[in-house]
Structure 1
Amino acid sequence: MNDARLDALMSGRFDTLTRIAGLWRIPGFSLAIIREADAATYAWGLRDAGRRLPMTESTRVPLGSLSKSLIAAVAAQRVAEQVTGWDRAQEPSFLPASHQGVTLAHLLSHSSGMPSYNLLLHYSADETRAALLERLRHLAGAHAPGTAYLYSNTMFIAACGLLESLTAVPWERQYHDLLRAIGIAGHMIDAEGVEKASPHGWAEEQGAFVVEEIEPVPATAHPLAGLICDIREMVAFMRLHLFGTGESGRLLGEGDLAELRRSRIRMPEIGYPAGATSTGYGLGWVLGRAGEHEMLIHAGSVGNMRAMTALLPDSGVGVSLLCNGDAEHSPVHPECCFMCAVVFRVIDWLCATKLALPDEPVPPPVRRADAAPLPRAVRAAAEPDLAGSYSHPGFGTLTVAPSDGGHLRLRYGRYSGLLARGPAGAISAVPDGRDGPVVPVQRGGRSLLARMEPSVPSFPFARVRRG
């Protein structure tokens, strides 16, 4: 049941939020608000615009990277139990020699120096976390640990593997023990979870909106992107991170919360609305300020389903938003994006932060078609030496083979993209639709050089079969 004082605060103001959703063409959203012991939740619009099904307070939406803070919370419990320490040097067998001595804090603050390797994480054929982690020692780091900010999804998976090896307790058990203690059901985006989630994301492409249903997330990526929650569960999520409490008492002490909120590495400014700033990255949280208030904030996405939470610990205030529309950051816009326009407005109403938000919602920027020349698909006859299977000890096998009327296509696990030649003559694998990054490739004698990660050089894949 909603707190009457929060309902009174939102009365007459919720219409502003629905106008913002209309401007940004968001089909539906749900909102949770906390102020000390008080809480309120709301839902508006459609979870499935095609079938006119409503978004409700029980509609589950993927949290995506917002669940990084839960991985850090599990780690905080193990540190409190003296299983390990935040800054204790580790020597995990699954990292290259250059990164022995990395710490748990490095892994959970994007300061390990190891890239994200999203192609490996999301597209490889690995079915277990152990198989995925075994590949990492064959890969390269971009920086020495602790020297620079480099967003890395895969290092959060590495942290899960490290905690599992230190405790001899399966990661999934540690994770779901915490979720149960908080009061979160712990549904994941597997085949069963997709049925239970049911929102449909919407994205604007070529002037029209297209529907995107949730697809199951590979099991290897479940700790990062697998969790789906409804907006009432987000109240429990925020109470954990604001007060350290779960359903039956305290789960994280004040010292644990302070460590999660301590800046570990400077990061680039994100571009929130004026008056709100990002200053660094803690453990699973972007750190910053909203007016005079300390702020923890993070967003996450799976396809076009998106989530954002902002917490002001010094005021006991939290705001969570779940939505099913294409709401990417736009730093040139005065409100940044739909999620920021809603979340920071509600924060301003709760705390009078005096953020420089416009009096009336501002329409999103006009999307313009990309004017860059379209790449030309590479025909197999034009590059007869490229077709074949290639292997790398870390990434495994990729293939280049004729398809689509004689054009060459690169396949790596679930990833598939036509080889195309850009204006300067360079060849890249251009994925179908939004499915993955562009992968530049070039011949290297008996190998294929593939840029599998933008922050490090190309990797040589040795040819194991022609044609």
Structure 2
Amino acid sequence: MPSDESRHPRAAVTTAGPAPRVPSPESPPDGPVLERLADAVTASDAPQVVFALSRYGRRSVMSGGTAPPPPLARENLRYEIGSATKTFTGLLLARLINSGRLTGGEPAAPLLDRGRPAGPNPVTLAHLITHTSGLPALPAAFFLRGLPAWTTNPYARFPEARVVDAFLRHRPRHRPGTRWRYSNFGVAVLGHALAAATATPWEDLLTDQILSPLGLDGTALRADDSGLDAPGHGRDGVSPVPAFDAGGFQAAGAVRATPHDLLTFLEAHLDPTGMSPHLAPALRAVRRPVLRRGIGHRHVHTIAWFRHPTDGGPMYFHSGATLGHQAFLGFRADTGTALAAVCTRRFRAHDPFLSAAYALLAQE
């Protein structure tokens, strides 16, 4: 059993990191910020937890958890961010559009099957990233194929070829662009379509266009034997879970990164020109609404983020989960705030982690 000491936040770091060069009011006292972060860490109730907040470039990081501290500092480990990977994929698509290599209106099927006609109502790259392609959350064949590894690594049993084949065989029930349905399947297909359109492997495309320009050298697309990957845990917070293998769903969930890299990624959205001039147009593009749905159009989406209103302005965010990790990424331009939160416990009913992260950013 972990000691009582290991259950409480143990490390606080406040630094001036690679910060947005924006007009900054006087930084708030560190004490209240760290206190709110510590409360969120404790509330998350997970083996390893890190809440990393940047406000006008001043970083405050709090870590803790129910397990003993790992050999490396928690904030220096890489964490699986699951579906929050889609924010990287959305930015990649925006970058390729801005550079003139794509328009977003390209039908996906002809890219993945040369010579195939697009048809009268094709699924386009824009449909795939905005979850309006008509594709389900996962291919029907995924469940049967992944069942033998359902509690360990089901995605690893569905490689790229199976994802593409399932897409080419699928017949949507609704015309693309008419209904919203969140789809890991659709964004996975988008990743393969982008690779086909650019004749560049997915990993190289994301690295060259996004990771390297932002200096994200603490970010990877798969686990390795470096000792940098934080081990995941099941719903009980004790049972170990193998490192996540995204299989053919890389674009939908493969990214793993340190909290500091995630903050750098978010800070670039707050100050596009100062952080990365070449990516600036794409960083601005992923903040623009492209879809409004629900009663009164209350649900607003960009090609990378969910967007909710606050008293001061919009809040952009995306969460993610694997079988052993959870993550929350978000930022607010009105307060110059970015928040990257990660933990190593599988999501369970009434899980406190995401609600603590969302509330922290909303209240900032």
Match of 1:251 in 2: 278
Alignment of 1:378-417 (within 5 A): none
Match of 1:309 in 2: 329
Q: Aligned in 2, Cα 1:141/1:339: closer, same or farther, shift over 3 Å?
A: same
Q: Does 1:345 align with 2:364?
A: no
Alignment of 1:106-121 (within 5 A): 106-117=127-138, 120=142
Amino acid corresponding to residue 29 of structure 2 in structure 1: L
For 1:302 and 1:158, the matched residues in 2 are separated by: 19
Structure 2, unpaired ranges of 5+: 1-13, 18-24, 147-153
Alignment of 1:268-283 (within 5 A): 279-283=299-303
Q: Aligned in 2, Cα 1:163/1:6: closer, same or farther, shift over 3 Å?
A: farther
Match of 1:129 in 2: 160
CA RMSD of aligned residues (A): 3.3
Structure 1, unpaired ranges of 5+: 270-276, 331-335, 350-467
Deviation at 1:45, TM superposition (A): 1.3
Alignment of 1:80-119 (within 5 A): 80-89=98-107, 91-92=109-110, 94=112, 100-117=121-138
Q: Equivalent pairs: percent with the same residue? A: 20
Match of 2:53 in 1: 33
Do 1:110 and 1:150's aligned partners in 2 also have CA atoms closer than 8 Å? yes
Correspondent of 1:53 among 70, 85, 94? 70
Do 1:113 and 1:143's aligned partners in 2 also have CA atoms closer than 8 Å? yes
Do 2:76 and 2:228's aligned partners in 1 also have CA atoms closer than 8 Å? no
Match of 2:288 in 1: 262
For 1:198 and 1:246, the matched residues in 2 are separated by: 31
Amino acid corresponding to residue 302 of structure 1 in structure 2: T
For 2:98 and 2:61, the matched residues in 1 are separated by: 35
Q: Does 1:70 align with 2:88?
A: yes
Match of 1:14 in 2: 34
Deviations 1:397-432 (A, max 9, x none): xxxxxxxxxxxxxxxxxxxxxxxxxxxxxxxxxxxx
Amino acid corresponding to residue 353 of structure 2 in structure 1: F
Q: Does 1:188 align with 2:218?
A: no
Q: Which has the higher contact order (CA 8 A, sep 6+)?
A: 2
For 2:70 and 2:156, the matched residues in 1 are separated by: 35
Deviation at 1:88, TM superposition (A): 4.8
Q: TM-score, normalised by structure 2?
A: 0.77
Amino acid corresponding to residue 188 of structure 1 in structure 2: L
Do 1:321 and 1:343's aligned partners in 2 also have CA atoms closer than 8 Å? no
Amino acid corresponding to residue 287 of structure 2 in structure 1: R
Match of 1:168 in 2: 199
Amino acid corresponding to residue 89 of structure 2 in structure 1: I
Deviation at 1:325, TM superposition (A): 3.1
Do 1:113 and 1:145's aligned partners in 2 also have CA atoms closer than 8 Å? yes
Amino acid corresponding to residue 45 of structure 1 in structure 2: G
SS in 1 for 2:180: coil
SS in 2 for 1:261: coil
Deviation at 1:301, TM superposition (A): 0.8
For 2:298 and 2:242, the matched residues in 1 are separated by: 30
Match of 1:44 in 2: 63
Q: Does 1:300 align with 2:320?
A: yes
- Highest Rg: 1 or 2? 1
Match of 1:234 in 2: 262
Do 1:327 and 1:339's aligned partners in 2 also have CA atoms closer than 8 Å? no
Amino acid corresponding to residue 280 of structure 2 in structure 1: G
For 2:258 and 2:156, the matched residues in 1 are separated by: 30
For 2:345 and 2:131, the matched residues in 1 are separated by: 27
Deviation at 1:233, TM superposition (A): 0.6
For 1:306 and 1:45, the matched residues in 2 are separated by: 15
Question: Would you tell me which structure has more helix in proportion to its own residues?
Answer: 2
Deviation at 1:59, TM superposition (A): 1.8
- Pairs aligned (count): 327
Match of 2:5 in 1: none
Deviation at 1:222, TM superposition (A): 2.6
SS in 1 for 2:216: coil
SS in 1 for 2:261: helix
SS in 1 for 2:248: helix
Correspondent of 1:203 among 235, 258, 264? 235
Correspondent of 1:157 among 172, 182, 188? 188
Q: Aligned in 2, Cα 1:294/1:210: closer, same or farther, shift over 3 Å?
A: same
Do 1:98 and 1:141's aligned partners in 2 also have CA atoms closer than 8 Å? no
